Amino acid sequence: MPMLVTDPNQVDNPIVFVNSAFLNLTGYDVEELMGNNCRLLQGPETSRATISEIRDAIAEGREINTEILNYRKDGSSFWNALFISPVRNEAGDIVYYFASQLDISRRRDAEEALRQSQKMEALGQLTGGIAHDFNNLLQVMSGYVDIMKLGIEHKFDLGRFVIPVERMRDAVTRASTLTQQLLAFARKQELRGRVINLNSRLDDIRELADNTFGETKALSFVPDPSLRNCQLDVSQFEVAVLNLLLNARDALQGRDNPQVTVRTGNLSLTDRRPIGFAQLTPGEYVWVSVSDNGVGIPPHVLAHVMDPFFTTKEEGKGTGLGLSMVYGFVRQSGGAVDIYSERGHGTTVRLYFPAVAADAG
């Protein structure tokens, strides 16, 4: 395994030892590394937030385990599973820092491919509802084109074309908006956490979700105006919420007065945490929930809904990855997932994320 040692008692905490595996991983010679700071492995796409976390850990003299994009001597990049630990003498003073590295690029690529595949599956379900809207818009435009054609043949006054032209323009604008929303959702983006407010992201999701649910199902949003900010990957968050909405939509089949409600809120956890919050450490959190009054989930199914490839849908109707990827994303973000369901009354899925004091970007 690639390893190195740095000396924090020297200026700029330089590298004082590397093994051959580290040389093979990075492409550097020993002479090029000795006396230099580890920042020579950083590059243009290295996360500034991760660098800051590493610096804070070193300044506080504690261990850190993280993943960071590093660069080899030839300029190629690799995802590095980095572990750093202080080495202390008998008096408890830090004399060195030990760091191990592991190239996890293949694993990250596989995870990215899986996330993109899940996004495309959700997109395919979304387009089913939006296709109906497009068909209606095309019919509107076609109808007004026929009216204008008839007017031209009968030499109507041009003033009579004003309303048809305005209606066609509105239809074109609406179709353009739908297209832009689909493209924004489908676009492949680098997974990167940033400070956001969940309320603003839900505003972006809302219109796309409204088109998916259509007029037969009531979808409402109840945001907490005092919601704190959090730091997470926007693309993954949008996919997670849309997956929850799609599941809620499916649970409403055949229900009278169907309702789906999306809420946000804050949560403060002390050392005396209530039952159900074992996955969360004490601190400040924000949450978003999706509730439906659908059929509910049987207890024997509820125990497995987060398992990869577990699904109760017909063959070809789903991969069984939706909720498992929601769970994985939330846990990687330092949060937790809570599901409550009652047969015949509905289900609530709530996602918790650590709150941050920084302003949303």
Instruction: Check residue 320 and give its pLDDT.
Output: 45
183 touches 156 (CB < 8 A) = no
The model's pTM is 0.50
Tokens standing for residue 80: 């590095």
Top mean-pLDDT range of 29-43, 156-170, 236-250, 329-343: 29-43
Q: What is the mean pLDDT of residues 85-110?
A: 89
Residue 287 one-letter amino acid: W
pLDDT tens-digit readout, 151-176 = 677 676 666 667 767 777 776 776 66
Q: Does residue 177 sit in helix, strand or coil? A: helix
Rounded Cα distance between 273 and 225, Å, is 25
* Closest alpha carbon to 8 in 120, 95, 73, 68: 95
β-pair partners for 81 = 67
Task: Say if CB 238 and CB 204 are below 8 A apart.
Answer: yes
SS3 state at 348: strand
Local structure of residue 272 (DSSP, 8 states): S
pLDDT of residue 325: 72
* 355 strand-pairing partners: 230
DSSP state of 155: T
Q: What is the pLDDT of residue 319?
A: 42
Q: Which residues contact 138 (CB under 8 A, 6 or more apart)?
A: 175
For residue range 297-352, what is the model confidence (pLDDT) as tens digits?
777 776 666 655 445 554 444 444 457 677 778 887 888 888 888 888 889 999 99
- The C-alpha atoms of residue 197 and residue 247 are separated, in whole angstroms, by 24
Mean pLDDT of the chain: 79
Question: What average pLDDT does the segment 140-149 reach?
Answer: 69
Alpha helices by DSSP H, listed for the chain, are: 20-26, 30-33, 48-60, 105-153, 162-186, 198-213, 234-251, 299-302, 322-332
